[in-house]
């Protein structure tokens, strides 16, 4: 009798430890909680286009000429965690939602 | 009653062992990798048959080939124009057989069909179908299923962690001289996928981990004040170095696919410069090596090193 109670206590202990640490066999299968989604909206999903600096303006003109829309002002920025330099602008068109656009300057300038 | 009790004990034992195993996941160590290998057939042939795939513009093709031979020595196969993809395309193709590694150079005269150009190396295998099956069993994806080329068959696989490798087989088995030094395939992977990558590659290559340094000198990835994890693997496919980084890599680290071992780095760099090779990272010494990063005409970026002390 004592033994049974001891075992029962052990089982309980294991289950509570397991549940606390969210082990898979203690969890029911659930679809992802809708409140926890990190998506914002399709218009914020940018296609990253890398072209050589000499082609930037021609690309921008051709893309806007094809789909319409507008471009943000072109800036020169660093968009990587390590040193580099690129031109950057955002193209917002009605058809292909949003496009960012980058023209990295020549590679040799990236080493500092 | 007795049966019920022993059943209960067994149940508890199972719960306990499962619970404990999951509560304390074993940390990834070289030891764990060594025991994780799945049993697959050994399809390796030899490191001289493991070619680095270099894609250049056709106008840079001859300059690149000449600069490789001037820098490293060796010979080339006859240049030809072939279809080496499963869908229509046309490329210049030539093999550069140097004493420090074999390169397969492509200069496409047509656009390059996807996903060709992303794979880093071609590994010769003894049996293509067995190799594809072994790769799948080891956890790789088959990105391009087997197809014929003019002299054999090929496929492209992807290891966990996003590393692409071509597997090839020739109708007539090739015969190349053994290499003087074995180059290292330099693979950059994330901390999230390194265990899966290493397990998978070891299972496929029948290789083993020869070094696993959790605090390798950061200068090797252009970050002198930091450290990173570096794993060295040896197999009959040659050497493979896994660089586990946070992806914050200064240019040109991560672009280099191979590290070539030469006996005298300074002499090799002198020959390289004369052949139009640009030194991107001048020589530095770390982990008993002096290393430099260079860019060959046409864009091919490589690491070159000499051993300065006893190798690990």
What is the pLDDT tens value at each position of chain A, 112 positions in all?
Answer: 455 555 555 444 444 544 445 454 445 555 555 567 899 888 888 899 999 999 999 999 999 999 999 999 999 999 999 999 999 999 998 875 444 445 554 332 222 2
How far apart (Å, rounded) are the C-alpha atoms in residues A32 and B231?
36
Task: Point out the residue among B5, B251, B281 whose CB comes nearest to the CB of A107.
Answer: B251
**For position B24, what pLDDT does the model report?**
44
**For position A1, what pLDDT does the model report?**
44
Which residues from B are below 8 Å from A50, CB to CB? none
**For position A102, what pLDDT does the model report?**
54
pLDDT tens digit sequence for B159-208 = 999 999 999 999 999 999 999 999 999 999 999 999 999 999 999 999 99
Inter-chain touch A23–B19, beta carbons under 8 Å:
yes
Q: How far is A69 from chain B (nearest CA, A)?
A: 30
Inter-chain touch A14–B19, beta carbons under 8 Å:
yes
**For position B5, what pLDDT does the model report?**
53
- The residues in A 6-45 lying below 8 A from B, measured between CB atoms, are 7, 10-11, 14-15, 17-18, 21, 23-25
**For position A96, what pLDDT does the model report?**
57
ipTM value greater than 0.85: no
Which residues from A are below 8 Å from B11, CB to CB? 11
**For position B298, what pLDDT does the model report?**
97
CB B255 within 8 A of CB B278: no
CB B91 within 8 A of CB B80: no
Size of interface A-B (CB pairs under 8 A): 51
Q: Where are the domains of chain B?
A: 47-170, 184-307
Which residues from B are below 8 Å from A21, CB to CB? 22-23
State both tokens at A95.
């058809």
Give every residue of chain B whose pLDDT is below 70, as ranges: 1-38, 310-312
**For position A34, what pLDDT does the model report?**
58
CB atoms within 10 A of CB B163: 23
**For position A8, what pLDDT does the model report?**
55
Inter-chain touch B250–A110, beta carbons under 8 Å:
yes
Helix axes B128-137, B194-205, angle to 10 degrees: 150
Closest among A106, A82, A81, A80 to B250, alpha carbons compared: A82
Helix (H, G, I), strand (E, B) or coil at B41: coil
- Level-2 CATH architecture, domain B47-170: Roll (3.10)
How far apart (Å, rounded) are the C-alpha atoms in residues A61 and B255?
31
CB B12 within 8 A of CB A10: yes
Domain B184-307 belongs in CATH node 2.20.25.90: no
How far apart (Å, rounded) are the C-alpha atoms in residues A16 and B82?
65
Which residues from B are below 8 Å from A25, CB to CB? 18
Q: Is B282 left (phi over 0), alpha (psi -120 to 50) or beta?
A: beta
State both tokens at B199.
């397990």
């Amino acid at each position: 009798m004592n033994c049974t109670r001891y075992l029962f206590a052990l089982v309980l202990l294991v289950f509570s430890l397991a549940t606390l640490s969210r082990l898979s066999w203690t969890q029911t299968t659930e679809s992802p909680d809708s409140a926890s989604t990190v998506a914002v909206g399709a218009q914020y999903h940018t296609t990253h286009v890398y072209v050589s600096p000499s082609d930037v303006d021609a690309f921008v003109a051709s893309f806007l000429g094809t789909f319409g829309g507008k471009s943000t002002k072109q800036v020169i920025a660093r968009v990587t965690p390590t040193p580099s330099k690129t031109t950057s602008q955002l193209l917002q068109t009605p058809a292909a939602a949003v496009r960012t656009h980058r023209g990295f300057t020549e590679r040799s300038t990236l080493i500092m | 009653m007795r049966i019920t009790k022993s059943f209960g004990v067994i149940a508890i034992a199972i719960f306990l062992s499962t619970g404990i195993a999951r509560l304390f996941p074993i940390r990834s160590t070289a030891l764990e990798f060594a025991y994780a290998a799945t049993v697959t057939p050994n399809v390796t042939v030899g490191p001289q048959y493991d070619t680095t795939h270099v894609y250049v513009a056709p106008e840079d093709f001859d300059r690149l080939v000449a600069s490789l031979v001037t820098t490293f020595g060796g010979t080339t196969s006859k240049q030809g124009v072939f279809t080496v993809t499963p869908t229509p395309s046309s490329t210049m193709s030539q093999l550069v057989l140097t004493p420090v590694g074999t390169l397969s150079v492509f200069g496409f005269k047509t656009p390059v069909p996807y996903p060709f150009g992303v794979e880093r190396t071609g590994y010769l295998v003894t049996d293509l179908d067995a190799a594809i099956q072994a790769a799948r069993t080891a956890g790789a994806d088959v990105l391009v299923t087997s197809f014929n080329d003019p002299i054999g068959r090929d496929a492209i696989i992807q290891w966990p962690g996003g590393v692409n490798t071509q597997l090839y087989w020739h109708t007539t088995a090739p015969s190349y001289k053994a290499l003087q030094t074995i180059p290292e395939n330099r693979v950059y992977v994330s901390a999230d996928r390194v265990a899966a990558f290493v397990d998978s590659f070891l299972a496929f290559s029948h290789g083993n981990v020869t070094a696993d340094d959790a605090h390798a000198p950061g200068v090797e990835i252009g970050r002198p004040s930091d450290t990173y994890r570096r794993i060295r693997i040896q197999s009959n496919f040659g050497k493979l170095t896994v660089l586990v980084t946070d992806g914050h890599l200064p240019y040109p680290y991560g672009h280099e696919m191979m590290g070539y071992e030469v006996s005298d780095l300074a002499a090799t760099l002198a020959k390289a410069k004369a052949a139009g090779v640009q030194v991107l990272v001048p020589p530095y010494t770390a982990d008993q090596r002096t290393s430099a990063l260079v860019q060959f005409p046409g864009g091919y970026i490589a690491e070159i090193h000499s051993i300065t002390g006893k190798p690990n």
